[in-house]
Amino acid sequence: MNQVRDQDEMRWVNKYEGNRIPYELRYEAAKLQKDLNFDEAQTEPSSHIDDEYARAGIHDPKVLITTSRDPSSRLAQFAKEMRLIIPNSQRINRGNYVIKDMVDACRANEVTDLIVLHEHRGEPDGMVICHFPYGPTAYFSLHNVVLRHDIQDEGTVSQVYPHLIFHNFNSNLGRRVTSILKYLFPVPKDDSKRILTFANENDYVSFRHHVYVKINNKEVQLAEVGPRFEMRIYEIKLGTVDLKAADTEWVLQVIINDEQFTDIPRDMQHR
**CATH number of this structure's domain 50-264, picked from the four choices 3.40.50.720, 3.40.50.10480, 1.20.1050.140, 3.30.450.20:** 3.40.50.10480
Distance in angstroms between the alpha carbons of the first and the last residue of the chain: 44
Write down how long the chain is. Answer: 271
Rounded Cα distance, 238 and 259, in Å: 31
Rounded Cα distance, 210 and 196, in Å: 6
pLDDT for res 4: 54
CB neighbours of 144 closer than 8 A, spacing ≥ 6? 228, 229, 230
Most confident listed range (3-17, 54-68, 254-268): 54-68
Instruction: List pLDDT tens digits, range 96-142.
Output: 999 999 999 999 999 999 999 999 999 999 999 999 999 999 999 99
Rounded Cα distance, 58 and 54, in Å: 9
Range with the lowest mean pLDDT among 151-165, 206-220, 233-247?
151-165
pLDDT for res 3: 56
Instruction: List pLDDT tens digits, range 183-221.
Output: 999 999 999 999 999 999 999 999 999 998 888 887 888
Q: How confident is the model at residue 13 (pLDDT cuts 50, 70, 90)?
A: low
Instruction: List pLDDT tens digits, range 49-105.
Output: 556 887 777 889 999 999 999 999 999 999 999 999 999 999 999 999 999 999 999
Q: Tell which wins on pLDDT, 38 or 111.
A: 111
Q: What is the mean pLDDT of residues 172-185?
A: 96
- The H-or-E segment that residue 74 falls in is helix 73-85
